[in-house]
């Protein structure tokens, strides 16, 4: 079989799934999600073919001599197809259980299939027009998915999402039109061939517009505002796809335009991407720490992880312009590897959050607690996801962040002074981000799953259905596999990276990575074995040296208070208080304490505490901007008074002026 037939079978499955979803029946409808799962397997196979094989034309459908539909794939598309299909497969399994009690089941299934198909179309588009049409289809379909619940919150989030994504698309269109104007070709291949001859300022303009446009979709700060609103509003299987792979199409766009099509650029391109990445990663995780809504927390972590991915890609661009091709390859592998990893673990975490919300009917972590006992599998998988996102071995986040660190620290060997300064700073940002992420997931996991139930809903929580657990299990196993066998991923990536940077990057075997420049090596399998041996040894030591003791079970020590209750637990706000204090310059926290007394100052009737942080970008960037626009709009509105006579007057004045000045 060749990639084309895999792709057509896959696409056929999606279309079938979409059409059948619209057939009005309810019983067993959620089983239709087996179709996208099947399609995902086909696409994964096609993606593997593309990742290792020659660039292939999949489908071309010319409309005129200049424009037409063109779908083609190369190694880079292949890699993104793999990332999309891996997540699609598990999310489809998960959706069988998750959507079975949903209200708009048919519409959901239809949009679900269309959404994934449009993402595949984006990463396989071969020319400008096809890309833009696929891109807009993806945006519109995801807008409908965000607003599928049709309540006020999701309508508001959807509107913000639609506005932001269209601003982004406007920038992308400008950048594409510039490319078209200067190359005379609408195909990416044709543009790539003539890009070397463009004037530098034009290239830089294209680069800037592309980064802003695609950055809006990827959710880089300060263009991230839609992300923490739209992702929580969508149903969890959709937020998993949006956060896992849809925002990655923004990364794909940046790599495709800034690295692939435009080729080697000046150093400041890479530095710009690097700085954006560093800012996004630190601020993303800082805002995530302050969230008590589990899905918003995860959404802010997506901002953070996009930042980490951009650190790798920016470093790669910087090294490439400095002529350090092997380092550029290492950094690009790091960025793309993290793209795949983030798709897997963030997909897993959103699915976990979805299960928790399904069971407890709340998004607020302060209403959860003690879920580990009620939902052991979900808890375990959420823990795996949390450990992966905190970049702890032996899971996958560790490998990609290790690679990013290596490439950033190697920036010292660069000839340019700027990159000598910038890359260690990027490394420092990554280190801070990692530590804060760990703190954040201790909070997310600890507050939601450990301790005592904080609400009646949490007490009554039940484990999710089999298919939901299966969907999460696939991703949890992948977290481990991608973490232990990095050689598999780097070998999938190396053709793409070789074609983009002209170097292979780290030498690798199944579970072994080696970077020549630093002589740094990593073997996650060895780490896993060491961890297993060490824990076994410790247990054995305790068992042997400690001897046999009688175990007795009792309640936690409660300082003599008669009964422990859930309100005595650490709350999410309390846990992050130290961080809120350290970073108060960034958070600008406001808090309000209202105490009413029976007899001042000793007898208190009630204490009401409320605290919030200032959303910096919303307040100082978006609000002034919308204010200005509204003011102008208000002025312009005076013209439209509603008076018919005034409108006719405009026509008369225009006519008379035309008569006077036109003749």
Partner 1 sequence: MKNWIEAFSVIDFISVGILLTAVAMNAFRRLESCVRTYTVNSWLLSSLIAIVAFMIGETHLYIAAALTLVTKGILLPVFLRRIVKQMKVTHDVEPYINNALSLTISGILVAVVYASLSVGIFVSGFSKNVLQISIAVILIGLFIMITRRKAITQVIGLLFMENGLFLAGFSLTFGMPTIIELGVLFDMLMGVIILGIFAIQIKRVFTSSDLDKLTILKG
CA atoms within 13 A on the CB side of 564: 14
Question: Of 233-241, 436-444, 611-619, 647-655, which part binds partner 1 (CB under 8 A)?
Answer: 647-655
Residue from 417, 551, 593, 660 touching partner 1 (CB under 8 A): that is: 660
- Phi/psi at 592 (5° precision): -135, 130
Coil, strand, or helix at residue 260?
A: helix
- Please tell me the count of residues contacting partner 1 according to CB under 8 A: 16
Coil, strand, or helix at residue 365?
A: helix
Q: Rounded to whole angstroms, how far apart are CA atoms 118 and 108? A: 15
Question: Of 253-261, 272-280, 353-361, 644-652, which part binds partner 1 (CB under 8 A)?
Answer: 644-652
Nearer to partner 1, 636 or 659 (CB): 659
Nearer to partner 1, 608 or 645 (CB): 645
The answer to whether 648 contacts partner 1 (rule: CB under 8 A) is yes
CB of 642 to partner 1, least distance (A): 3
Residue in this structure with the two tokens 């009005």, named with its chain if needed: 24
CB of 659 to partner 1, least distance (A): 5
Q: Is the peptide bond before 601 cis (omega within 30 degrees of 0)?
A: yes
Nearer to partner 1, 181 or 651 (CB): 651
Question: Of 274-282, 368-376, 397-405, 648-656, which part binds partner 1 (CB under 8 A)?
Answer: 648-656
Nearer to partner 1, 28 or 642 (CB): 642
CB of 663 to partner 1, least distance (A): 5
Nearer to partner 1, 543 or 647 (CB): 647
Q: Which of residues 322-361 bind partner 1 (CB under 8 A)?
A: none
Interaction pattern, residues 35-64, with partner 1; x per rule: CB under 8 A:
------------------------------
CB of 411 to partner 1, least distance (A): 57
Nearer to partner 1, 28 or 662 (CB): 662
Q: Is 526 exposed, middle or buried (0-12, 13-18, 19+ CB in 10 A)?
A: middle
Nearer to partner 1, 521 or 641 (CB): 641
Nearer to partner 1, 435 or 648 (CB): 648
- The answer to whether 309 and 426 have CB atoms below 8 angstroms apart is no
- The answer to whether 222 and 621 have CB atoms below 8 angstroms apart is yes
Coil, strand, or helix at residue 138?
A: helix
- The answer to whether 200 and 155 have CB atoms below 8 angstroms apart is no
- The answer to whether 374 and 462 have CB atoms below 8 angstroms apart is yes
Q: Rounded to whole angstroms, how far apart are CA atoms 121 and 171? A: 20
Interaction pattern, residues 621-640, with partner 1; x per rule: CB under 8 A:
-------------------x
Nearer to partner 1, 594 or 645 (CB): 645
Nearer to partner 1, 553 or 661 (CB): 661
Question: Of 78-86, 345-353, 377-385, 646-654, which part binds partner 1 (CB under 8 A)?
Answer: 646-654
CB of 650 to partner 1, least distance (A): 10
Residue 568 tokens read as: 């005595």
Interaction pattern, residues 582-621, with partner 1; x per rule: CB under 8 A:
----------------------------------------
CB of 647 to partner 1, least distance (A): 9
Q: Is 497 exposed, middle or buried (0-12, 13-18, 19+ CB in 10 A)?
A: buried
CB of 432 to partner 1, least distance (A): 50
CA atoms within 13 A on the CB side of 264: 11
CB of 159 to partner 1, least distance (A): 18
CB of 378 to partner 1, least distance (A): 48
CB of 634 to partner 1, least distance (A): 14
- The answer to whether 34 and 96 have CB atoms below 8 angstroms apart is yes
CB of 656 to partner 1, least distance (A): 6
Q: Is 4 exposed, middle or buried (0-12, 13-18, 19+ CB in 10 A)?
A: middle
CA-to-CA dists, residue 474 to 90, 371, 471, angstroms: 6, 21, 5
Residue 376 tokens read as: 């052991």
Angle at 93 between CA 89 and CA 95, to 5 degrees: 115
Q: Rounded to whole angstroms, how far apart are CA atoms 323 and 424? A: 18
Coil, strand, or helix at residue 645?
A: helix
CB of 654 to partner 1, least distance (A): 10
The dihedral formed by the CA atoms of 167, 169, 174 and 177, expressed in degrees to the nearest 10:
-160
Which residues are at the interface with partner 1 (CB under 8 A)?
640-645, 648-649, 651-652, 655-656, 659-660, 662-663
């Amino acid at each position: 079989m060749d990639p084309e037939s895999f792709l057509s079978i896959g696409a056929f499955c999606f279309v079938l799934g979409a059409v059948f979803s619209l057939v009005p029946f309810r019983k067993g409808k959620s089983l239709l999600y087996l179709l996208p799962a099947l399609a995902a397997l086909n696409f994964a196979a096609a993606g593997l073919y593309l990742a290792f094989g020659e660039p292939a034309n999949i489908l071309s459908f010319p409309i005129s001599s200049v424009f037409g539909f063109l779908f083609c794939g190369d190694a880079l598309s292949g890699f993104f197809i793999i990332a999309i299909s891996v997540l699609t497969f598990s999310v489809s399994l998960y959706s069988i259980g998750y959507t079975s009690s949903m209200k708009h089941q048919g519409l959901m299934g239809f949009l679900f299939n269309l959404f994934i198909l449009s993402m595949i179309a984006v990463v396989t588009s071969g020319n400008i027009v096809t890309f833009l049409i696929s891109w807009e289809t993806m945006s519109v379909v995801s807008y409908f998915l965000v607003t599928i619940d049709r309540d006020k919150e999701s309508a508001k989030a959807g509107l913000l999402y639609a506005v932001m994504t269209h601003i982004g698309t406007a920038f992308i269109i400008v950048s594409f039109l510039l490319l078209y104007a200067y190359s005379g070709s609408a195909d990416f291949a044709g543009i790539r061939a003539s890009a070397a001859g463009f004037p530098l300022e034009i290239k830089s303009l294209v680069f800037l517009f592309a980064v802003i446009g695609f950055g809006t979709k990827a959710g880089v700060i300060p263009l991230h505002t839609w992300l923490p609103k739209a992702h929580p509003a969508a149903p969890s299987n959709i937020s998993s796809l949006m956060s896992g792979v849809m925002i990655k199409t923004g990364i794909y766009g940046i790599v495709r335009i800034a690295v692939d099509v435009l080729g080697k650029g000046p150093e400041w391109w890479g530095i710009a991407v690097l700085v954006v990445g560093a800012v996004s990663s630190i601020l993303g995780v800082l805002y995530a720490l302050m969230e008590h809504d589990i899905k918003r927390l995860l959404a802010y972590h997506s901002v953070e992880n996009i930042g980490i991915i951009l650190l790798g890609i920016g470093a790669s661009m910087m090294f490439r312009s400095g002529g350090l091709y092997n380092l550029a390859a290492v950094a690009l592998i790091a960025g793309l590897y993290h793209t795949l990893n983030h798709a897997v673990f963030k997909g897993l975490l959103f699915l976990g959050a979805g299960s928790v919300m399904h069971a407890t009917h709340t998004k607020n972590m302060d209403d959860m607690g003690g879920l580990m006992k009620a939902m052991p599998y979900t808890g375990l998988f959420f823990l795996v996801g949390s450990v992966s996102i905190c970049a702890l071995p032996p899971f996958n986040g560790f490998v990609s962040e290790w690679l990013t660190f290596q490439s950033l620290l190697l920036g010292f060997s660069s000839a340019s002074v700027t990159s000598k300064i910038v890359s260690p700073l990027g490394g420092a940002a990554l280190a801070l981000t990692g530590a804060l992420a760990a703190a954040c997931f201790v909070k997310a996991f600890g507050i939601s799953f450990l301790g005592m139930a904080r609400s009646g809903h949490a007490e009554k929580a039940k484990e999710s259905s089999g298919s939901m657990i299966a969907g999460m299990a696939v991703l949890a196993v992948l977290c481990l596999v991608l973490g232990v066998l990095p050689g598999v991923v780097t070998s999938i990536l190396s053709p793409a990276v070789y074609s983009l940077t002209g170097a292979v990057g780290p030498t690798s075997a199944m579970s072994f990575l080696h970077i020549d420049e630093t002589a740094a090596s990593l073997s996650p399998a060895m780490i896993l074995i060491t961890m297993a041996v060490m824990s076994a040894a410790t247990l054995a030591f305790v068992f042997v040296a400690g001897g046999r003791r009688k175990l007795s079970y009792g309640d936690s020590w409660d300082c003599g208070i008669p009964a422990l209750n859930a309100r005595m637990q650490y709350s999410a706000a309390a846990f992050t208080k130290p961080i809120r204090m350290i970073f108060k310059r960034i958070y600008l926290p406001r808090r309000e304490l209202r105490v009413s007394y029976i007899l001042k100052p000793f007898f208190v009737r009630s204490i009401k505490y409320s605290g919030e942080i200032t959303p910096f970008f919303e307040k100082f960037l978006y609000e002034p901007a919308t204010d200005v626009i509204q003011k102008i709009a208000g002025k312009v509105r005076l013209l439209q008074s509603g008076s018919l006579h005034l409108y006719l007057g405009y026509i008369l004045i225009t006519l008379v002026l035309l008569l006077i000045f036109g003749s």
